[in-house]
Amino acid sequence: MLGGSSNVQSKWKRKSAVTLALTVLTSSQAILIVWSKRAGKYEYSVTTANFLVEALKCALSLAALTRTWRNEGVTEDNRLNTSLDEVSVYPIPAALYLVKNLLQYYIFAYVDAPGYQILKNFNIISTGVLYRIILKKQLSEIQWAAFILLCAGCTTAQLNSNSDQVLQTPVEGWLMAIVMAVLSGFAGVYTEAIIKKRPSRNINVQNFWLYVFGMAFNAIAIVVQDFDAVMNKGFFHGYSLVTVLMILNHALSGIAVSMVMKYADNIVKVYSTSVAMLLTAVLSVFLFGFHLSLAFFLGSTVVSVAIYLHSIGKLQR
Amino acid sequence: MLGGSSNVQSKWKRKSAVTLALTVLTSSQAILIVWSKRAGKYEYSVTTANFLVEALKCALSLAALTRTWRNEGVTEDNRLNTSLDEVSVYPIPAALYLVKNLLQYYIFAYVDAPGYQILKNFNIISTGVLYRIILKKQLSEIQWAAFILLCAGCTTAQLNSNSDQVLQTPVEGWLMAIVMAVLSGFAGVYTEAIIKKRPSRNINVQNFWLYVFGMAFNAIAIVVQDFDAVMNKGFFHGYSLVTVLMILNHALSGIAVSMVMKYADNIVKVYSTSVAMLLTAVLSVFLFGFHLSLAFFLGSTVVSVAIYLHSIGKLQR
């Protein structure tokens, strides 16, 4: 029984560590984006950067695997070889993200960028609903209430004087935002399902296969969206130090997301990225002299209460 | 035991009826204020109107009492005669409200009217805290979380493009707002304590004494604030149909507040007036062509979740 309790404790520690890593990486990611925009450096092609992120994640997973092989030897759980049965589902999340990213180009015909930031909060609700439907995990009534509050709180924290324009979004814009939220929620929940289906399988092998298909689908995106630009100006046109840092950060946070899927779940991921959004705003005050609005304080209060309710909602199940 | 259950049911019905009455009266009150402002009719003296409200409440309580005396005869519980011990605490709420209303004139040196509407939401928190301290009633953890959400949700629903100015309120403004919130919360909780101290005492007798002192303190307010205006222009200067309707409405909602104190509590009162605030905004869309903001929808969502949590928080105690 003592072994069981120390097992619970080490699981809890691992869960906390990956959640903290995801929060820190996501908020520094947003800081890097603000930094790169303010430096006016945004001329590199986003598709090539995305491809490099996937390639880097692949390389990091392989590096971690070779260390494991040296220490533990090659076993059934950590060998790279795979069956068609295991690997056949891995392209699905990458394909969903590709469709979502392509849609993102079209939604800006109906909504501006700040409006899109607000509509993106649909992700929170779609992730919760799909988590319930696909993974068949129960959330308590209090946890559902907390999830609605998380969505309302994040949106409130992002309000500015132009936010009401989002209410004038045409039906096409609403529909695309909902479709994108469902695609992104589905990709997240599906990834968790794939990773959790084989609990003893080494996470780095699972990541390797996810990222291989990520590379493949991002190569398609380069051809579809940026073929001419890459051909004429070159693959690395417009890259700078901050671009390299962003690629590095995206790769690490991608791996942190996978770890959260393995050792925690999509709900923890959503809370973690929401807290990261609030942290980013607070850090931006010190780094860029931004001002915090009353709406930000109110939204943060609601998010904090949501986190509290989510944690006490779990205990009472 | 059957009698006990039907007693619980009739108590619940009475509690619901007075809460509904308070909600409807409070929201129509706000509608009348908007109406009177839009008609540009606001030249009557507020202190004389307040005095008439107290006088009308006094008269209505006496009318209800005479009917009771005719039907049930004069008993220990419904006789108007009182002891110094019973009546000595009745002036306190009226005195607190007087001080609060006088402060209201000074706070506008530091905050504008919309900013004051936002700061008034401190009332929610102060009522909850004083309810806990003075009446020694417990709220569950979930109910406390719900109360914080109620405050954040009401404030969010009231946000507009100028709301951030409230963050520039000088320290004096914050302090006065907090003092006013404490005074108003204290007056409410103290009234509940007075009314509940003698549960078998007829509510109309209790109201009569409360309102007698209300009349007295409002007479003082007339002398302090509007003596010259009343002397020169007359007591009823600037009165119109809408003024009369407002006085009638204030009197009825004042009585509804007393009923809620007797048969429910201050927490129910706070929820009821918050819902009335949201109802008013929705009604104003139809009546005055107002627009609802995204912040209003978000705030209403948070208030709805707060009400839900308050109700399930009670069941689990």
CA distance A187 to chain B (A): 27
Per-residue confidence at A311, pLDDT binned at 50, 70, 90? very high
Closest residue to B295, CB basis, from A153, A295, A309 = A295
Query: Considering only CB atoms, which chain B residues are within 8 Å of A294?
Result: 118, 155, 159, 163-164, 166-167
Residue A283 near chain B (CB below 8 Å): no
Please tell me the distance from the alpha carbon of residue A53 to that of residue A256, in angstroms, as a whole number. Answer: 13
Which of B186, B192, B190, B195 has its CA nearest to residue B129?
A: B186
Residue A153 near chain B (CB below 8 Å): yes
The pLDDT assigned to B41 comes to 52
Which residue does chain B place closest to A161, by CA atoms?
B161
Q: Within chain A, where are the H helices?
A: 2-38, 46-72, 84-87, 91-107, 113-119, 122-134, 141-157, 171-197, 203-233, 241-263, 266-288, 294-315
Average pLDDT for residues B16-44, to the nearest whole number? 81
Residue A71 has pLDDT above 90, yes or no: yes
pLDDT in tens, A126-172: 999 999 999 998 889 999 999 999 999 999 999 988 888 888 889 99
Residue A308 near chain B (CB below 8 Å): yes
The domain segmentation of chain A, as residue ranges, is 2-315
Q: What is the CA radius of gyration of chain A?
A: 20
Per-residue confidence at A46, pLDDT binned at 50, 70, 90? confident
| End-to-end Cα, chain A, rounded Å | 23
Interface predicted TM-score (ipTM) over 0.90 = no
Q: For A83, what's the count of Cα atoms within 13 Å in the CB-facing half-sphere?
A: 6
Please tell me the distance from the alpha carbon of residue B15 to that of residue B260, in angstroms, as a whole number. Answer: 7
CA distance B145 to chain A (A): 6
Q: Do B295 and A294 touch (CB under 8 A)?
A: no
In A166-225, the residues whose Cβ lies within 8 Å of chain B are 166-167
The pLDDT assigned to A2 comes to 47
For the purposes of burial, counting CB atoms within 10 Å of the CB of B273, is it exposed (0-12), middle (13-18) or buried (19 or more)? Answer: buried
Residue B308 near chain A (CB below 8 Å): yes
Residue A301 near chain B (CB below 8 Å): yes
Per-residue confidence at A31, pLDDT binned at 50, 70, 90? confident
For the purposes of burial, counting CB atoms within 10 Å of the CB of B206, is it exposed (0-12), middle (13-18) or buried (19 or more)? Answer: buried
The pLDDT assigned to A91 comes to 94
Q: Do B152 and A293 touch (CB under 8 A)?
A: no
Average pLDDT for residues B120-130, to the nearest whole number? 94
Residue B77 near chain A (CB below 8 Å): no
Per-residue confidence at A1, pLDDT binned at 50, 70, 90? very low
Per-residue confidence at B92, pLDDT binned at 50, 70, 90? very high
Higher-pLDDT residue of B317 and A117 is A117
Per-residue confidence at B112, pLDDT binned at 50, 70, 90? confident
Q: Which residues contact B202 (CB under 8 A, 6 or more apart)?
A: B65, B68, B77, B78
Per-residue confidence at A202, pLDDT binned at 50, 70, 90? very high
Which residue does chain B place closest to A144, by CA atoms?
B305
Query: Considering only CB atoms, which chain A residues are within 8 Å of B145?
Result: 305, 308-309
Which residue does chain A place closest to B147, by CA atoms?
A305
